[in-house]
Structure 1
Amino acid sequence: MVLGGLYRYPVKSLRGEALTSMVVGARGLLYDRHWMLVDGEGRFLTQRELPRMALVRPRVQGSGLILAAPDMPDLQVQPDSDEQLQVQIWRDLCTARVMSRVADQWLSEFLDVACRLVYLPEEQVRQVDQDYANTEDQVGFADGFPFLLISRASLDDLNRRMGLSLPMERFRPNLLVEGCAAYAEDGWKRIRIGDLEFRVVKPCSRCAIPTIDPETGQRTGKEPLKTLASYRKHGHQVYFGQNLIHDAQGQLQTGMPVEILQ
């Protein structure tokens, strides 16, 4: 088994980046979900409410971003504000910093909703859910965990059942594993990728975001949730992929071997 893909999402719920090598820091992949959009009350915004967020492509440049979207001029953004903002992501409250009023205007215009771009400063620590984590484990603005892993075989099986060919991008993993059986990741407890070890702590329950076409920013119907519900439903949730927590910092690179430790 090998690491077949590495994906980072600099701004929560905007488009991701596929890279061949990434640094793993305290919160996970460096700059993964480091930024987030919030409304006027400081509540986080996602594609669940604003599918057009899928059309915005952020790219990390130094300590800032380059934002691109259809029919908009590319925008280079660097942090230029000392303003702090109390923000809410699910049940967590964090003190974030405002990135740039220019970015707020650009994003508000494209999404047609008033919003602000914030980031999580290094001195702020957002703990991972202590039901699944150690005290020192932390995460950025991801929903709950530093890493999401899916195997290529699992997506291939799902596409076969649907009679479709949805890309992995729909499911927004960080780690794509190749060379295992479909849903083999469901049985893993601890793995090693290169020199880094990870705890496999919780299946990923899926929301409506995989029903949004990232190329159009439009909902495409009930798939893949309809098919997943026919064989991956437990209680009121459907599950696809596994959430991971890393035990150390270092480097990940595509092609690295993946070893099952437990």
Structure 2
Amino acid sequence: MPYLARILLYPIKSLDPMEVTEATILPTGALRHDREFGIFDAEEKFVNGKRSPRVHGLTAAFHPTTGELRIAIRSTGESRCFQWPDDCAAMDAWLSDYFDQPVSLRRDAGGGFPDDKNALGPTVISTATLEEVASWFPGLSVESARVRFRANLEIGGVPPFWEDQLFGDPETIVPFQIGDVLFHGINPCQRCVVPPRDPQTGEAIPEFSQTFRERREATLPAWANRARFNHFYRLAINTRAPESETGKTIRIDDSIRL
């Protein structure tokens, strides 16, 4: 039976994951503390891996109960610990110095800063899918694939690409439950320039996107709606959670039902 094997939150958009045993649904359908913080430049644009490779040089940890943010530079080991919101000015100054441009760290505890504004719920993938994708690239570990694709919820007990059942025709939803929480599957997630890069060094795997597209098409399961793939650089499922699910909690080992 499919079950929830892992929950990963990304408190600071584009930075390190935080593995938890349970997560609460916000009114927007997002998971509490996921993409809760974002780094913005002077033009009000995200400073992320798509626009600034220097993001890969940072590591970060957030402690929700204390509001403590610890950020470090991988290459030098230099680290700073900040208290939110008391140390906002000092934090922005430190980050601006690192990125060599004015930036600011902002917080939206009510819904975070998701990539897909049409599907604000958690992204879903299976462990077997990550294992399959990792096997396409010599030397790529499952853990590295996990961080590259940055899904929130990982499903165990299923074959590769089982999650491709969680979307249907355009403008339709596929209801499914994790524990007693209802979600709506929306569409397969379009990937960007980030997955080819090593999360820690930024070094890219040559021809990653082309190889991925070819293997994804060749392994597309019979249960996937092929019409939703205008290209095959898609992995994991975008979701929504109805407003009725606000405040409910999903937990590791919860069963998953279509």
- Structure 1 partner of 2:188: 203
AA partner of residue 238 (structure 1): Y
Distance 1:223 1:256 in 2: 38
The code of the aligned residue for 1:232 comes to R
**Is 1:21–1:253's contact at 8 Å kept on the other side of the alignment?**
yes
Following TM superposition, by how much is the alpha carbon of 1:240 offset from its aligned partner in structure 2, in angstroms?
0.6
Give the secondary structure class of the aligned counterpart of 1:243. Answer: strand
Q: Which residue of 1 aligns with 2:178?
A: 193
Report the TM-score when normalising by structure 2: 0.79
Distance in 1 (alpha carbons) for counterparts of 2:34 and 2:203? 25
Partner of residue 132, structure 2: 157
Q: 1:236 to 1:11 in 2, by over 3 A?
A: same
Asked if the contact 1:56–1:69 (Cα under 8 Å) also holds between the matched residues in 2, the reply is yes
Alignment of 1:81-96 (within 5 A): none
1:183 to 2:168 alignment: no
The CA distance in 2 between the partners of 1:4 and 1:111, in whole Å, is 36
Within-5 A mapping of 1:220-259: 220-222=204-206, 224-232=208-216, 234-236=229-231, 238-247=233-242, 248-249=245-246, 250-259=248-257
Query: Could you list the runs of 5+ residues in structure 1 that have no partner in the other structure?
Result: 81-98, 123-138
SS at match of 1:74: strand
What displacement does 1:5 show? 0.6
Shift of 1:223: 5.8
Q: 1:74 aligns with which of 72, 77, 80?
A: 80
Which structure has more helix as a fraction of its residues?
2
Change (3 A) 1:44 1:61: same
For the residues of structure 2 that align with 1:56 and 1:156, how far apart are their CA atoms? 24
Post-superposition shift, 1:175? 0.2
SS of residue in 2 equivalent to 1:210: coil
For residues 101-130 of structure 1, the C-alpha deviation after alignment (integer angstroms, 9 at most, x for no partner) is 1110121223333211112264xxxxxxxx
Q: Is 1:112 matched up with 2:100?
A: yes
User: After the TM superposition, which segments of 4 or more aligned residues of structure 1 sit over 6 Å from their partners?
Assistant: none
Task: Tell me: CA distance 1:203–1:252, structure 2 relative to 1, closer, same or farther (3 Å).
Answer: same
Tell me by how many angstroms 1:241 deviates.
0.7
Q: CA deviation at 1:237?
A: 5.8
Q: How far apart in 2 are the matches of 1:256 and 1:9?
A: 21
> TM-score scaled by structure 1?
0.78
Taking CA–CA contacts closer than 8 Å with sequence separation of 6 or more, which of the two structures ends up with the larger relative contact order?
Answer: 2
